[in-house]
Amino acid sequence: MNIYGQIASNKRKTIFLILGFIAFASVFGYIISLYFDFGLTGLGIFLIIFGIITYISYYNSDKVVLSLSNAKPAKKEQYPQLYSVVENLSIGLGQPIPKIYVIEDSGMNAFATGRDPKNSAVAATTGLLQNLDKQELEGVMAHELSHVQNYDIRLMTIVTILAGSIAIISDFFLRSLIFSGDNDRKNSNGIIIVIAIVAAILAPIAAGLIKLSVSRNREYLADASGALLTRYPEGLASALEKISHHPNISKASHANAHMYIENPFGEKARDFFSKLYSTHPPAKERIKRLRAM
């Protein structure tokens, strides 16, 4: 499949996943509302709370991520090649030049953050800058800038908050069963409570899987978009080969792992379950797709 075909395919997959995620969250919220006899009112409250949390996170997610990663503003005189690459690629995309940060870490990795092209930032580890040549660095930065251009950061912020909200509601509901003494309501709504318990147990797992699936699709999309920007897929493919051997970041957490260009915890066994719960597609598969373009 050529670059344009891959971009279109990944956009379609992401749209279906997001629509499914919203429908799934709405059904889950409604089931829990039925148990508490809130009906559609409870679902409305859930959606309002979700909207407020999303709004707050939307305007602060970049600051939180940069702080958690211990990223520091990069000085132009100290990192001239990084500045040159980011500035040239931004001009090619026709978007504002993002703020540029560096993470003091020997691991090789990078990420982009920000709610839109006007409020964005890219960060790279010192290990990445020391080990990649210019074409490889261009491939990596093109990938990250494509995340910004495709509004992937905004999308993943919303998906992460939605998945987290489902987990919180599930935990609240299960705890309420333990401490609640309202046995009459439990006995009169036997079918509903069974459905609610099953939903509360399975919903966080399903939400997490959908989140990871969206993350993997956006990585493929950014790979294809970045290759289209540089017109040189081999640059990113070669960079991913190097990065996949040393991607570990000391300051990485499960909360921001999906933002890095490669899993910051390193490659683990790629059996069925590890692939299912991975924030990134296998590096070998990404390299294979890039070299087939």
Return the structure tokens found at 288.
Answer: 């294979």
User: What is the side-by-side order of every strand in the sheet holding 99-103?
Assistant: 72-73, 99-103, 119-125, 110-116
User: How far apart (Å, rounded) are the C-alpha atoms in residues 203 and 226?
Assistant: 34
Residue 251 identity (one-letter amino acid): K
Could you tell me which of 292, 159, 145 has the C-alpha nearest to residue 217? 159
Could you tell me which of 179, 182, 196, 255 has the C-alpha nearest to residue 31? 196
H helix intervals, the chain: 3-35, 39-68, 80-93, 126-131, 134-149, 152-179, 183-188, 190-230, 233-243, 272-276, 283-291
Block residue for tokens 């001009």: 91
Burial of 69 by CB count in 10 Å (0-12 exposed, 13-18 middle, 19+ buried)? buried
Instruction: Name 72's bridge partners.
Output: 102
User: How far apart (Å, rounded) are the C-alpha atoms in residues 103 and 79?
Assistant: 12
Residue 221: DSSP 8-state: H
Identify whether the C-beta of residue 112 lies closer than 8 Å to the C-beta of residue 61: no
Name residues whose C-beta falls within 8 Å of residue 63's C-beta, 6 or more positions apart in sequence: none
Q: Which residues are known catalytic residues?
A: 144
Q: Which helix (H) or strand (E) holds 162?
A: helix 152-179
